[in-house]
Homo-oligomer: A and B are copies of this chain.
Amino acid sequence: MRVIRSIKVMSEISRDLRRKGKTIGFVPTMGALHRGHISLISQAVKENDNVVVSIFVNPIQFGPKEDFKRYPRNFSKDAAICSMHKVDYIFYPDYCQMYPEGFKTYVTVNELSDILCGAFRPGHFRGVTTVVAKLFNIVQPDVAYFGQKDAQQAIIIKRMVCDLNIPVKIKVMPIVREKDGLALSSRNQYLNARQRRDAVVLYRALNKARDLVKSGCVDARRIINEMKKEINKINPKKIDYISVVDPYNLKQIAQIKDKALIALAVWLGKTRLIDNIIVRI
């Protein structure tokens, strides 16, 4: 495994690999790797000749009051995980290289970026799409892997790739959960013992929604109300949203017809957690 810190070197390696007819699987991350990331890496290793994992805590996707500074960083642990899982290249650029002085270009996916998490984190998805476009241009992957945990992000990236004709296939892998159901996230590290126990309420609320749908309830308002009741049992700091939306265009659904994405964002203390499920009728 090689650690590449230079954009130029990374793109030359990718160009070389592609010239030789090798396929490149790519897993873009912000580090603090957990079993969710590992599931993406394993899939990439299974499906491609070479695998690149990028580790870059992307400043432009954090709001001014968000957790950019305290976001967990542990490169040597991440590198060990990558090495153990047969990653070929870690791409680990620094900020000055990614955003040199005079940087002023952004990729925006309108509408999709302003709802759900986007409504509470203005500029977040613009930061995500911009850095992902950059990383795709540098790494030139055949396939890139994202987690369903960030469902909105995956949908926005698919839209960007389609709209801008980026020659990359996007694969979205299922959410990996702790034994009690909590979705894996690098931000789970922020939780104290009490919050960690309470955090399972997101999964419990999603299960309640699934049960309601199974039992014939298709009314979004009722589902959301029941979920809210469940979540309020732990007295969270704040619920950003609980939404029932179309899994393709993220539009609000009043009555579930065939398939819906149920997504939520909840604050436990200073930690914002998100989770989601897809329900089918």
Contact = CB atoms under 8 A, between A and B. Distances in A.
A108 B106 contact: yes
A159 interface: yes
A236 to B, nearest CB: 32
Contacts of A130: 164
A249 to B, nearest CB: 7
A19 B109 CA distance: 31
Given A106-B110, A108-B105, A138 B163 contact: no
A77 to B, nearest CB: 28
Contacts of A109: 104-105
B165 A138 contact: yes
Copies in the complex: 2
A213 interface: no
B165 A134 contact: yes
Interface string A9-40: 00100010011010000000000000000000
Contacts of A108: 105-108
A7 to B, nearest CB: 6
A11 B167 contact: yes
Nearest to A139: B165
A94 interface: no
A140 interface: yes
B159 A137 contact: no
A64 interface: no
A245 to B, nearest CB: 15
Interface string A156-189: 0001101111110000000000000000000000
B103 A163 contact: yes
A260 B156 CA distance: 41
Interface string A121-159: 000000001100110011010000000000000000001
Nearest to A112: B104
Nearest to A113: B104
A280 to B, nearest CB: 22
B104 A163 contact: yes
Interface in A70-118: 100, 102-112
A23 B159 CA distance: 29
Contact of A164 (B11, B133, B165, B249): B133
Contact of A134 (B102, B106, B134, B164): B164
4 smallest CB-CB distances across A and B, nearest first, come from: A105-B163, A104-B110, A137-B165, A105-B109
